[in-house]
Structure 1
Amino acid sequence: MSSDPNAKSRRFPLPLDKLGAGAAPKVREVLMPQRHLREAAADAARQQSPRGLGMDSDSVRRRMVQRLQQEGLNDERVLQALATVPRHEFVDSALAIQAYEDTSLPIGHGQTISKPSVVGRMIAMLFGGATARQTGQLGKVLEIGTGCGYQAAVLALLARQVVSIERLKPLHDKARLNLGAVRAASVRLIYGDGRLGHPPAAPFDSIIAAAGGEDIPPAWLAQLAPGGRLVAPTVAPGGRGQLLVVVDHQVEAGASRFVRTEHEAVLFVPLKSGVM
């Protein structure tokens, strides 16, 4: 992320692929009743960045990172990225005071922003892939489930390019607005079905999912580059809860194989098909 003090106020053009989007609706001007005007003003006020909470202070994020470090997150690259991205700008202002607690928070439409510890843990796992170990960065990343855009902003500091897919149009639009306040030109937002991945941009050196399904969709494996690593939650054996799963695409003697390992229990929203 740039150290330019004016960077926060700048906007960047995010390339968008609106899969299946229809023509823009016609707009007509209407007179709003006073009650609606008051409600609109209240909504606008809620969209403003929090003031007087100290949320824009680097020290607030540093304290969060120190707690995560004490709990075992030790990848300096990931810690620095978490210390850089202003998480409070990706949640509703009413929840901003909780932004640097290690907790998931609602972002609307039945979705949540993941705990900072979970975001850090999964990204640190990506760095264990063969290509990431060799290059020291995550290369081209596919993110399944953009949500509010927070994890994409963290990934953008650690990858060459981030392609992020969101199936819910309101969240896709919200992420575009949130990321517009951050210099993250390497992020490409896709409105589409995350289970299908994004073949036009494949292969990917790293794939990370923010939703858990019954198993890893075959499309993700097909789009994982040799030497690449995938990290995603899946339903645990017996259907009880979810586990973090890591899949490495290894190539030996000219033959590809996918090596799967299972890790700790997690809790993510379900992975669903289609767009809304």
Structure 2
Amino acid sequence: MTAELNIAFSPCPNDTFVFHAWAHGLVPDAPALNITYADINITNELAAEGRGPEVLKISYAALPWVLDNYRLLPCGGALGRGCGPLVLSRKGAGAIKHPRELSGRKIAVPSERSTAYLLFRLWAAQQVSGDPAEIIVMPFDEIMPAVQSGAIDAGLVIHEARFTYPSYNLQLLADLGSWWESDTGLPIPLGAIIARRDLDHEAITGWIRSSLQHAWDHPLDTQEYVLSHAQELSPEVAKSHIDLYVNEFSMNLGDDGYGAISALLNRAAAEGLVPAINPALLR
């Protein structure tokens, strides 16, 4: 392993919380990190094009395009219950009040290869008659203002939007996590940590787990780093974000985690939404 490892993950509180200790040289024997902070849409594209760093955070929905070059790591990502993406619309005159009204509308999504969008497409096939007129990809932090202003009819949101959307005077049309859990009984696979296949995956896994354990043992030590990269969030919202997205699956996917990933990707492949995957490449 080199003296420095290139890595890309988002500036969201769950990622900075997980990688705080490693980023600050607090993980014994781990190489220094050269960090790129990037929106998930960017990391998905970098991985798919083979231009990404050695380690990245991507959407689970993007895995079918990258598994030949990258391996899914069993830790560090975001997978859980009660943490799924939301479909939001604005309130007031002309507001969308039912999912069936999404037909023919402009809908903003954070990435065409995001788990959020994959869940949306699976859900919409059941709930929405016809396709939206236009899907617009934009950074996740721009979606709620666009819905609020009327530039977009509805938005598919992730991350801390679960906690902050009422402040934009928006209403909830659907919680896709709740839909997925009730439909399958499985947790929701959101963000994955992947590493190039020529690396020492056991070592990287150990360093990520050590970094996460340090954060759990010393949560106050992470606060300055977390908040410096989530400048629009209050400490309370950042903590709620971390509590929701950093959980036992962040330490170890386990059989339930891998089962949820397989269920999502197999269902999506059956619908023609993603390429079919070789199950042997998931572990």
Query: TM-score with structure 1 length normalisation?
Result: 0.28
Structure 1 or 2: more helix by fraction = 2
Which structure has more relative contact order (CA 8 Å, sep 6+)? It is 2
